Amino acid sequence: MEDRDFDVGLTDLQMPGKDGLELLAALRQLRPATPVVLMAAFESVQTAAEAMRTGTLDYVTRPFEADALLIALERAFERRELEDGNRRLRRAVDRTGSFRELVGKSAAMNEIYALIRKISSSRSNVLITGESGTGKEVVARTIHFTGARAKKPFVPINCTAMPEGLLESELFGHVKGAFTSAHAAKKGLFETAHGGTLFLDEIGDMPVSLQGKLLRVLQDREVRPVGGNQSVKLDVRIIAVTNQKLEDAIQDGRFRKDLYYRLNVLPIRIPPLRERPDDIPVLAEAFLRKHSDDERYRFTEQASRKLMQAPWAGNARELENCIERALALADSHEIHSSDVLVSSEVPRQNDGTLHEMLLRTALEQRLSADELTESYIDAVIEAVHGRKSEAAKMLGMNRRTLYRRAERLRGEGGTERRSALTPCAN
Ligand SMILES: Nc1ncnc2c1ncn2[C@@H]1O[C@H](COP(=O)(O)OP(=O)(O)OP(=O)(O)O)[C@@H](O)[C@H]1O
Ligand SMILES: [Mg+2]
């Protein structure tokens, strides 16, 4: 009884050693939901079992017909199945604890779900803050795709990735001849997002001069393309996102206070993963399913414990990378703690021999300085979990340069430069 579960108990009342009532009491402790059928003489049932008769206890009185016992057992099995079904249902809800793409069942995430439900159909601007990798973009998408604007475009733009001049014409569009390379008129992302949502990623990196122009668009609800003199009326909801403290940026004069108030109508703060450990197992499970179709993968007890105890400085994104890596490392469907490498255990490139090896490989392959730089930039970004300002500090570059550089290097060789702009329909 202690070691394994069973569907239904069938026991006599009078037995040598422990009698049926003691057995029942123990069973109630261990497996309160397991139905039991008691076989007993009429008198003893009257005195004892009758009083205990509940949803999980049934009895047949001796002498009984085989059919009577079968019926009692069938009833018990049915009850058990019902109970299992309910439990499975409850477990499924517990386990997914999710809202669309968003996973998490902590109190903090439940608050965020409630907030999203409340605000998704409003047209007020939203400002999402949170550390890198906390899920700001998923929250933004969930707001859009669960709200009244879901059928209209969701248009993302990353403010860090764009040089200032380009960002302006991308946002507001331009007329033909607005500048030398403007051979044709171009619709801005604001116009593309009409009726829907414009997702401004890393708003804290928007150049101050452009902030003023953005503010004007938000106030007037109309946009004038670069070089043009006609404005277009627009209905666009802004979801802005930042992992910086905008209050500090305002202090330093890097961010306009008036724009901050315009954007911060509905604030959402996503706490770091270390403040909501309840989400770790559900996220880990969700990432496991996301990166493998094979449902047999399981974490061992120890692996689960390790996941719970890791610091997750890079938040959900780091956890996701870790799970993806674990799937690659696991040599069976059991994921052991040795497959779960948290950031401090991932081999770093500043190891002496690794460093030598790296340079030797670079020499052998006759890599150009740019190619070597690209690898290093990528490695640094990865090592700091995608926190661009930290990567920039390590590399001694400013964020903007870093981003452009990484983008350019990546697009190198192809005629089609990979754009940081990824307007998409869903
Ligand atoms: N609550 C969540 N449920 C499901 N997936 C999540 C959740 N939070 C984060 N993720 C996943 O983690 C990864 C990082 O999330 P996301 O890109 O939204 O983070 P972010 O806050 O925008 O990070 P950054 O500031 O670095 O841009 C994504 O793959 C995302 O799908
Ligand atoms: Mg993001």
Nearest ligand, measured from the Cα of 271: 1
Q: Residues near 270 by Cβ (< 8 Å), separated by ≥ 6?
A: 108, 112, 128, 129, 130, 131, 134, 135, 136, 139
Cα 341 to middle of ligand 2, angstroms: 23
pLDDT tens track for 366-393: 888 878 888 788 888 888 877 777 888 8
* Nearest-atom index, ligand 1, CA of 138: 18
User: CB-based contacts of 306: which residues, under 8 Å, 6+ apart?
Assistant: 337, 340, 342
Q: Does 137 contact ligand 1 (Cβ within 6 A)?
A: yes
Q: What would the two tokens of residue 305 be? A: 């414990």
- 135 CA closest ligand 1 atom index: 18
At 52 the pLDDT is 60
Pocket of ligand 1 contains residue 9 by CB under 6 Å: no
Which pLDDT belongs to residue 260? 96
Q: How far is the CA of 100 from the centre of ligand 2 (A)?
A: 18
Pocket lining: 389 vs ligand 1, CB cutoff 6 Å: no
User: Any idea what DSSP says for residue 275?
Assistant: G
CA–CA gap between residue 21 and residue 93 (Å, rounded):
36
pLDDT, tens digit, 9 for 90 and up, residues 154-201: 999 988 877 788 888 889 999 988 888 888 888 899 999 999 999 999
Q: Write 179-188 long-range contacts (CB < 8 A, 24+).
A: 179/226, 179/227, 182/226, 182/227, 185/225, 186/225, 188/223, 188/225
The finding on whether 271 has its CB within 6 A of some atom of ligand 1 is no
Q: Is the CB of 243 under 6 A from ligand 1?
A: yes
Residues with CB under 5 A from ligand 2 (ion): 137
How far is 326 from 284, CA to CA, in rounded Å?
11
C-alpha 80/C-alpha 361 separation (Å) is 64
- State the amino acid at position 149 in one-letter form: R
* Binding site membership of 318 for ligand 1 (Cβ less than 6 Å): no
Nearest CA to ligand 1 atom 13: 317
- Return the C-alpha torsion angle 378, 381, 382, 383, nearest 10: 120
Domain positions in the chain: 9-96, 102-271, 275-345, 352-411
Exposed, middle or buried: residue 265 (CB in 10 Å: 0-12, 13-18, 19+)?
A: middle
Instruction: Report residue 150 as tokens.
Output: 């879901």
* Ligand 1 neighbour 320 (Cβ under 6 A): yes
Tell me yes or no: is domain 102-271 CATH 3.40.50.300.
yes
Residue 404: Cβ-neighbour burial (10 angstroms; 0-12, 13-18, 19+):
middle
In this structure, the dihedral spanned by the alpha carbons of residues 36, 39, 43 and 49, taken in order and rounded to 10 degrees, is -10
Residue 204 near ligand 1, beta carbon < 6 Å: no
Distance from C-alpha of 34 to C-alpha of 5, rounded to nearest angstrom: 9
Q: Which residues of the chain have pLDDT under 70?
A: 42-55, 82-98, 344-355, 408-426
Q: Is 102 near ligand 1, meaning CB less than 6 Å away? A: yes
Question: Which residue is closest in CA terms to ligand 1's atom 30?
Answer: 135
Residue 155 CA, ligand 1 centroid: distance in Å: 17
Same CATH topology for 9-96 and 102-271? yes
- 226 - beta bridge partners? 174
* pLDDT score for 20: 77
Q: Look up the CATH number of domain 9-96.
A: 3.40.50.2300
156 lines ligand 1 (CB under 6 A): no
Q: Report the predicted TM-score, pTM, of the whole model to 2 decimal places.
A: 0.64
Q: Helix, strand or coil for residue 324? A: helix
Whole-number Å distance between alpha carbons of 162 and 43:
87
Nearest residue to 374 via CA among 351, 404, 419, 400: 404
Closest residue to atom 28 of ligand 1, CA basis? 317
Burial of 353 (0-12, 13-18, 19+ CB in 10 A): exposed
Q: Is 36 within 8 Å of 56 (Cβ atoms)?
A: yes
SS3 98: strand
| CA pair distance 247, 253, nearest whole angstrom | 10
Return the CATH number of the domain spanning residue range 275-345: 1.10.8.60
Q: Is the CB of 273 under 6 A from ligand 1?
A: no
Predicted local confidence at residue 426, as pLDDT: 34
Q: Cα separation of 218 and 212, whole Å?
A: 10
CA of 421 to the centre of ligand 1 (A): 18
Q: How far apart are CA 171 and CA 218, in angstroms?
A: 12
Q: What is the largest CA-CA distance in the chain?
A: 103
User: In angstroms, how far is CA 20 from the centroid of its own chain?
Assistant: 51
